[in-house]
Amino acid sequence: MHETPSPNTLLDWYDHNARKMPWRIGPADRAKGIAPDPYRIWLSEVMLQQTTVAAVREYFNRFSTRWPTVVDLANANDADVMAEWAGLGYYARARNLLKCARVVANDYDGIFPTSYDQLIKLPGIGPYTAAAIASIAFDHPETVVDGNVERVIARLFDIHTPLPIAKPELTDKAKNLTPQIRAGDYAQAIMDLGATICTPKKPACGLCPWRTCCRALDNGTALELPKKLPKTPKPTRVGVAYFVERVDGALLLETRPETGLLGGMLGWPTTDWNDAPLPAPPIQAEWKLLNAEVRHTFTHFNLRLNVHKAYVPMDRQPTRGLFVERADFQPSGLPTVMRKVFDLVHEGKKR
């Protein structure tokens, strides 16, 4: 008979080993009554979706410095927010970030609702994010389950059902462990445990505060867990990106439609991305095909882009997009795949 994992044991470990993050109020400060800022918790959780802490830190610091409150963000220019988000990926999150900020500013007087049921109604907030905000920001005993928690729970109880089939079972086990007191610290503690001790490939089991009650450790199965269903191969789509430079150095860019991939983001005009895209040049020009292609991986497919380049005179007008003066152009404001196009053209100029 295995002993039941104690939340207090994990909290004791967390009190001495909590990771320092710019959005986090550590256990010592929380004990002094310093409350987390729901805006910063929400912002960090949206950024952290399908992204690592290391990748998010710089973005979070820039966002929270430029827009220190949810009202500031609600009043921001859409293009400025999308440009700051560039490189983080999953751009629907940035669009929903603005939508959510404006709902909180307009409908809640700039104050985040505190309950899971209210939070989950906000744009871009799903079950995980609602639970995380309610728990971490407001200390409600909600069950927070991310990839780190799934791994910890699967190993604690030696659960071999593969993900995603195992999600309900893992969530139920996690719910039974969530304490009524210090729920916010506990949520962060179990995520920290998965991120720093119960890691995917080389778990430091000897340092784990729950090692005496871990069934996978006892059974020698920790490295097998959590099991996952085999991934289906990603399809490959192809397309053409059109890089147009005017004789004065201005570049032709367009804002992509609000809906769809890279929605609302600034980029080079392109064809559709599919098996056999039709040509869609945005301006009359003599086109040169670069002798290399851009490759990029999205969540559901791989993309291969041929790049066509052209120089045009001052009086040539595009059928779509607008010319941006070179002094006003920042490559860092482009999504990653579009920046790859710019880098490829730039490399070609060096040769």
For the chain, strand residue ranges (E) read: 236-246, 251-255, 266-267, 288-297, 302-312, 322-324
Residues designated as active site: 45
Tokens representing 153 are: 């729970």
Query: Does residue 37 surpass a pLDDT of 50?
Result: yes
If pLDDT is split at 50, 70 and 90, which confidence band does 130 have?
A: very high
Confidence at residue 262, expressed as pLDDT on a 0 to 100 scale: 85
CATH topology of domain 7-224: Endonuclease III; domain 1 (1.10.340)
Query: Does residue 99 surpass a pLDDT of 90?
Result: yes
Confidence at residue 348, expressed as pLDDT on a 0 to 100 scale: 59
Confidence at residue 93, expressed as pLDDT on a 0 to 100 scale: 87
CA angle at 197 for the pair 192 and 37, rounded to the nearest 5°: 10
Rounded to whole angstroms, the Cα distance separating 90 from 85 reads 10
**Phi-psi group of 120: left, alpha or beta (phi > 0 → left; psi -120 to 50 → alpha; rest → beta):** alpha
Tokens representing 32 are: 């002094």
If pLDDT is split at 50, 70 and 90, which confidence band does 351 have?
A: very low
DSSP string, 165-202: TTHHHHHHHHHHH--SSSHHHHHHHHHHHHHHTS-SSS
Rounded to whole angstroms, the Cα distance separating 174 from 298 reads 31
Tokens representing 24 are: 């986090």
pTM for the predicted model, two decimal places? 0.82
Query: Does residue 259 surpass a pLDDT of 90?
Result: no
Confidence at residue 91, expressed as pLDDT on a 0 to 100 scale: 81
Query: Does residue 337 surpass a pLDDT of 80?
Result: yes
| Contact present, 161 and 225 (Cβ < 8 Å) | no
CATH topology of domain 236-350: Nucleoside Triphosphate Pyrophosphohydrolase (3.90.79)
Query: Does residue 258 surpass a pLDDT of 70?
Result: yes
Pairing of strands 302-312, 251-255: unpaired
* Structural domain spans, the chain: 7-224, 236-350
Q: Give the tens place of pLDDT for each residue, 161-219.
A: 999 999 999 999 999 999 999 999 999 999 999 999 999 999 999 999 999 999 999 99
Rounded to whole angstroms, the Cα distance separating 300 from 158 reads 30
Q: Give the tens place of pLDDT for each residue, 104-119.
A: 999 999 999 999 999 9
Confidence at residue 38, expressed as pLDDT on a 0 to 100 scale: 96
Rounded to whole angstroms, the Cα distance separating 196 from 136 reads 19
Query: Does residue 235 surpass a pLDDT of 80?
Result: yes
| Contact present, 163 and 175 (Cβ < 8 Å) | no
Query: Does residue 1 surpass a pLDDT of 70?
Result: no
